[in-house]
Amino acid sequence: MLTKIGNRVLVMNYAHVAHNCKIGDDVILTNGAQIGGHCIIDEFANIEGMAGLHQFCRVGAHAIVAAGAKVAQDVPPYAMVAGAERARLVGINEIGLKRRGFTAETMNALKAAMRTIFYSKLLREDALKKVLDEQGDFPEVRRLVDFIANSPRGVVGRERE
């Protein structure tokens, strides 16, 4: 596979995209972002300055990786992750989603889905099923569930106490 970069992608100073990557449309790679080989970054994702993605990681659509974050697992769509030692889920990318015209109803459904998946005591498979049962009418929620269910590396989780 060749490295493929989509349309309207902004690659700022000193950003690096390694071999065999796929960068979707409307992605932003800010100063010093480092993308390892075989990574996939879906549309409208934002990788902030000096963030690093380990090889074979995926970043879902509309996700944001905070400046300086070290990502070693997949980043779910619509999520915000941060962490200098190891990236962890912070919540949804609420500001980015508002800017792109997502409705409050859709954002609330995504927040509820994230709470169930990452903060309930349910097993991941049971949490994904519950989310589909409760918010499955939203295509964004179905995309989130599909991404997590089909992640070979596992997804970035929340900070544990």
Q: Is residue 158 part of a domain?
A: no
23-82, pLDDT tens digit by residue?
999 999 999 999 999 999 999 999 999 999 999 999 999 999 999 999 999 999 999 999
Where in the sequence is the domain holding 57, given as residue range(s)?
4-93
* 65 and 8 part of one domain: yes
Going from the C-alpha of 78 to that of each of 40, 151, 155, the distances in angstroms are 15, 15, 13
Task: Provide the pLDDT confidence category of residue 17 given band limits of 50, 70 and 90.
Answer: very high
86: tokens are 């190891």
Does residue 160 register a pLDDT over 80?
no
Q: Is residue 155 part of a domain?
A: no
* 102 and 89 part of one domain: no
| Cβ–Cβ under 8 Å, residues 143 and 137 | no
* 9 and 82 part of one domain: yes
Q: Is residue 71 part of a domain?
A: yes
pTM of the model: 0.95
Task: Provide the pLDDT confidence category of residue 137 given band limits of 50, 70 and 90.
Answer: very high
The per-residue pLDDT for 161 is: 58
Q: Residue 88's domain is classified under what CATH number?
A: 2.160.10.10
* 60 and 113 part of one domain: no
Q: Residue 103's domain is classified under what CATH number?
A: 1.20.1180.10
